[in-house]
């Protein structure tokens, strides 16, 4: 069983702050992490390896620094890691990104065909959720997005049963393999990396592929050149007139809350009757 996992290194958005003076992003000190969904995808691949034997390959397209993320994947249990890194890959939109990843996966498969391709459901830096579908489409393999459970998988008959979250509930799908799944976090809970992995990772250097070696990429389809979209402008959203503001420290708790309630009553947003609106069941 060979599983290929695509991962992305992203800024940890929970540490991102906005400078209130300038309204811009404070980038300093924002750590880079593996896109959280991708870690769960990798964990799923490792579970499958434990069950069926075989290998797990991880790959990422990114700057040289993204090699750190790949080493972390080896710690977690990946066997082989490939960094697709070249200035010419830079500035890619999802169309060009998916081309590069699909082309690389096709090249890996020449020697070692994959049974399963795993992607995160989305990357938290841009949240486009387009790269996985783009790669599946280019490789002409079945696509299952928002996968949350692998009910069964049979490498011999090359079929799998996958649970997928949709608005109406959970869809149970049967697919042929190889297939590409984009996964939710529930797909697998992350276990602590065993010691031998840590030892191996300490000496591991990911392979680096650039735009020409070991496989040539079509120069017209990578980076900015291969992108269909461009950012024409970026701007801060227009500010509204600030509203009325009260301070507990200045006016006291009871008074401030009383005034606020009064305003809500005047605005007609408080029904004076107790709650009769549909209750939020999932609150319970």
Partner 1 sequence: MTETPDLGAPRIWVLIEQDAGQVHPVSWELLGAARRLASELDGEATCVEAVLPGYGVRHLAAEAFRYGASRVYLLEDPVLALYRNLPYALGVSRLAQTYRPEILLIGATTLGRDLASTIATQLETGLTADCTELTIDPKLRILAATRPTFGGNLMATILCRKHRPQMATVRPRVLPLPEALPRGATGEILAVELDLREADLPVRRLRLIPGAERLNLEHAQVIVAGGRGLGGPDGLTLLRQLADLLGGIVAVTRPLVDAGWISADHQVGQTGKTVRPKLYIAAGISGAVQHRVGMGDANLILAINRDPEAPIFQIAHLGIVGDLHEVIPELIRQLQTLRAGDSP
Ligand X SMILES: Cc1cc2nc3c(=O)[nH]c(=O)nc-3n(C[C@H](O)[C@H](O)[C@H](O)COP(=O)(O)OP(=O)(O)OC[C@H]3O[C@@H](n4cnc5c(N)ncnc54)[C@H](O)[C@@H]3O)c2cc1C
Among 1, 106, 107, 129, the residue binding ligand AMP under the rule CB under 6 A is: 129
Q: Is residue 123 near ligand AMP by the rule CB under 6 A?
A: yes
Q: Residue 51 class from Cβ within 10 Å (0-12 exposed, 13-18 middle, 19+ buried)?
A: exposed
Choice between 16 and 224, CB closer to ligand X: 16
Q: Which stretch binds ligand AMP (CB under 6 A): 120-128, 169-177, 215-223, 247-255?
A: 120-128
Q: Which helix (H) or strand (E) holds 11?
A: strand 9-11
Min dist. Cβ of residue 5 to ligand AMP (A): 7
61 makes contact, choosing from ligand AMP, partner 1, ligand X, none, with CB < 5 to 8 Å by partner type, with ligand AMP
- Closest to ligand AMP by CB, 126 vs 157, is 126
Least Å from the CB of residue 36 to ligand AMP:
9
Among 102, 114, 131, 211, binds ligand AMP (CB under 6 A): 131
Cα(183)–Cα(153) distance, integer angstroms: 16
Whole-number Cα distances in Å, 151 to 6, 160, 171:
22, 8, 12
- Binding to ligand X, residues 111-130 (CB under 6 A): 127
Query: How far is Cα 88 from Cα 97, in angstroms, rounded to an integer?
Result: 12
Q: What does the alpha-carbon distance between residue 219 and residue 209 come to, in Å, rounded to a whole number?
A: 14
Q: DSSP per residue over 111-180, as a string? A: HS--SEEEEES--TTT----HHHHHHHHHT--EEEEEEEEEEEETTTTEEEEEEEETTEEEEEEEESSEE
Answer for which of 138, 200, 207, 208 binds partner 1 (CB under 8 A) is: 138
Contacts 24+ apart (CB under 8 A), 189-193: 189/40, 189/43, 190/39, 190/40, 190/43, 190/76, 191/43, 193/75, 193/76, 193/77
**Contact call for residue 247 and partner 1 (CB under 8 A):** yes
Give the shortest CB-84-to-ligand AMP separation in angstroms: 7
Quick note: the x/- pattern for ligand AMP over 41-60, rule CB under 6 A, is -------------------x
- Binding to ligand AMP by CB under 6 A, coded x per residue (else -) over 223-262, reads ----------------------------------------
Q: Is residue 183 within 8 Å of residue 119, measured between CB atoms? A: yes
Q: How many chain residues bind ligand AMP (CB under 6 A)?
A: 23
CA 132 – CA 98 distance, rounded (Å): 7
Greatest Cα-to-Cα distance within the chain, rounded to the nearest angstrom: 73
* Binding segment (CB under 6 A) for ligand AMP, from list 122-130, 138-146, 195-203, 267-275: 122-130
Whether 51 and 3 have beta carbons less than 8 Å apart is answered as: no
**Site for partner 1 contains 136 (CB under 8 A):** yes
Residue 13 lies near ligand X (rule: CB under 6 A): yes
Shortest CB 230 distance to ligand AMP, Å:
17
What's the min distance (Å) between Cβ of 252 and ligand X? 17
Site of interaction with ligand AMP (CB under 6 A): 6-8, 35, 37-38, 60-62, 94, 97, 101, 119-120, 122-123, 126-132
Site of interaction with ligand X (CB under 6 A): 13, 16, 127
């Amino acid at each position: 069983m060979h599983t290929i996992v695509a991962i992305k290194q992203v800024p940890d958005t929970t540490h991102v702050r906005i400078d209130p003076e300038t309204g811009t992003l404070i980038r300093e000190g924002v750590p880079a992490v593996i896109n959280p969904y991708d870690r769960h995808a990798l964990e799923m691949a490792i579970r499958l390896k434990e069950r069926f034997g075989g290998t797990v390959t991880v790959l990422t397209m990114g700057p040289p620094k993204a090699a750190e993320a790949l080493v972390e994947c080896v710690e977690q249990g990946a066997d082989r890691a490939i960094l697709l890194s070249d200035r010419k890959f830079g500035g890619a939109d999802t169309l060009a990104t998916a081309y590069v990843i699909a082309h690389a996966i096709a090249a890996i498969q020449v020697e070692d065909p994959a049974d399963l391709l795993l992607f995160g459901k989305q990357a938290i830096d841009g949240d486009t959720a387009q790269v996985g579908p783009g790669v599946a489409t280019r490789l002409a393999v079945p696509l299952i997005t928002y996968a949350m459970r692998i009910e069964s998988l049979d490498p011999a008959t090359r079929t799998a049963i996958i649970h997928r979250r949709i608005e109406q509930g959970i869809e149970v799908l049967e697919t042929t393999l190889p297939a590409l799944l984009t996964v939710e976090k529930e797909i697998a809970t992350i276990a602590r990396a065993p010691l031998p992995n840590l030892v191996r990772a300490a000496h591991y250097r990911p392979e680096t592929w650039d735009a020409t070696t070991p496989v040539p990429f079509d120069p017209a389809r990578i980076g900015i050149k291969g992108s269909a979209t461009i950012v024409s402008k970026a701007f801060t959203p227009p500010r509204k007139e600030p509203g009325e503001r009260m301070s507990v420290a200045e006016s006291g708790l009871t008074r401030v809350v009383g005034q606020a309630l009064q305003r809500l009553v005047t605005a007609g947003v408080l029904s004076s009757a107790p709650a009769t609106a549909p209750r939020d069941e999932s609150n319970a």
